[in-house]
Structure 1
Amino acid sequence: MGVAALFGLLVLLIEDENSDSTGTGSGGDGKGLAGVPAEFRPWILKADKECKHAEVSPALLAAQLNRESHFSTKRSTESPAGAKGPAQFMPSTWDTWGRDSDHNGTSSPWDVGDAVIAQGRMMCSLTGQAKSSGITGDIRRLALAGYNAGWGAVEKYKGVPPYTETQDYVRVILSSMKKFQASPDLEVSGSGVGADALRKASGRIGTPYSWGGGSPSGPTTGFCDGTNGYLNGKCSASHTVGFDCSSLAQYSYWPKVKLPRTADAQFGATADHPVAKKDLQPGDLVFWSNRSGSIYHVALYAGHGKIVQAPRTGRDVELTNLSTAMPAADYHGATRP
């Protein structure tokens, strides 16, 4: 955070309610990216590409943004100390790292492109400092501590400073990286409506399933209807921000194709463009139905016999095999929106 980076002050950060439950902090060298808002994705990848240090990965930058602001650009996320924007820069720190990276004529910590590229620049510089410092330990931990508490504090203590906030900051970011990582299998090539939809869907891998949750704008909390949305006997959907299967499909195609909300309605809206299983292409919608013929599940075909789907309560959006995603006998067919 910029205020601590210059002055060693501690600033209240927004807590990620799920960050302690995922990942171990030991991995994170992969260059894939998942589970981030679409408007952040290209800038995170660009920031990563511009940094020569392998320790700075898309997943690390995404986890850091999530810890700083939950990817928020709302003015209400300005900290009491004056840190601004999705990467929480203080004005004085912004003067050092901020640029008009999105070329809209203004350099602003509230602009996604400007903020993320500045964050990447600062983290890249801190990583270089950590490598040349002679201080032992995980380079990522040292760089993150420098971002939060200031590099001077890292040098003073020869490692992560003994500040509760800084130690929590480093721990939460490294432990939550896993949910922002994507495997090379998710690289989507080509163009067109289907490829673009799949690319958008794959960017949400790792997002929780939430019955009734999700909209064309992104993940939302869902609801329980007496049968669905429950986990271990309790209503999970009402406090889980995520997608269900059909909202993921709707979100992925919106606004180029404005699909209806439910899987059954989506099949009805696209049934005039059926696709045989042998002819499936990335982005095609695949459907499953129960014995009465009612559609109960939809997913996006990802190529090579795989799909991207929001499976069920308690699980996350995932890349999985088409053949085993749902009961084989329930496979209903596929369409091309």
Structure 2
Amino acid sequence: MTMARPALDPELRELSADMPLIPRLTPEVLTQLRQLPPAPIEPLLEHRQVHRREITVPAKDGAPIPLSVLSPANTDRTTAAPCIYWIHGGGMVMGDRFSQIDIPLEWLHQFGAVVASVDYRLAPEATGTVLVDDCYRGLLWVAEHAAELGIDPARIVVAGASAGGGLTAGVTLMARDLGNPQIAAQMLICPMLDHRNTTTSSRQYSGVPGVWTGEMNAFGWNSVLGDLAEAVVSEYISPALAEDLSGLPTTYIDTGSAEVFRDEATDYATRIWAVGGQAELHVWAGGFHGFDALYPQAHISITSRRTRADWLARLLPLNCVA
């Protein structure tokens, strides 16, 4: 019996009518997808006054982690800037530090923020906590070099979409537990939080075509977990496992009503509220996974992006001077 599902936003349904969809994600399909040329960042920077710096940070095992730092050019360096530490999406198996970079670049323009985007290693080549550890090491480097980068260390926001949203949650839990670095806020955009893949929304979007289906989600998680036994899966890998969500920085979560991650995102916000934490949750009616990145021109996408920016404007007042 086919499960009932929320209807798509009419404009998104029309825009996505001819969108090619991957029927299934397999090792062979993943290899083909990785061979596609990545979207270049240069056109996004062409009409912006941006200073770009490329560095590498040593991972826990010594492997180099690429990190791009994008700063507003000609900035008054007497005023320390907020920082957006960006973690890209791609199901933990694909993508790079420039994936979805147009999202934080909007905040660079609006708030004078420095954007640091990390190129963590991908599954299945990297498994277990390697991905979240890479992201954490990059964040530590940014915080430790805040003065050099012109960043206010009290205004570092960790943000990410999809897999990057899940890794954002894992990094934030790790920073809380280790006591360093200080994170002002976390932004989880359609986050990939729960390896169990058993929610109602994950079942609703299994066995049907989609941008990211329950089957694709299982492939991504299996790639990350490898041979790990269920009993030893860390909450830093799968943040929905965390028993204690207290002590987290203020949190923004958004998702669509018509996507796999709807219920785990909603549950994460609910559990933050349950321990007295601050979370803002938006479930965009008729939004499918990644709708605002795929179709930024749609009205629902414009509204969702503006709502995130409004939240950041309240969080990062422009007159805050270090």
TM > 0.5 fold call: no
TM-score interval, normalised by the smaller of the two chains: under 0.3
- The TM-score normalised by the length of structure 2 is 0.25
Whose strand fraction is larger, Structure 1's or Structure 2's? 2
- The TM-score normalised by the length of structure 1 is 0.25
- Of structures 1 and 2, the larger Rg is shown by 1
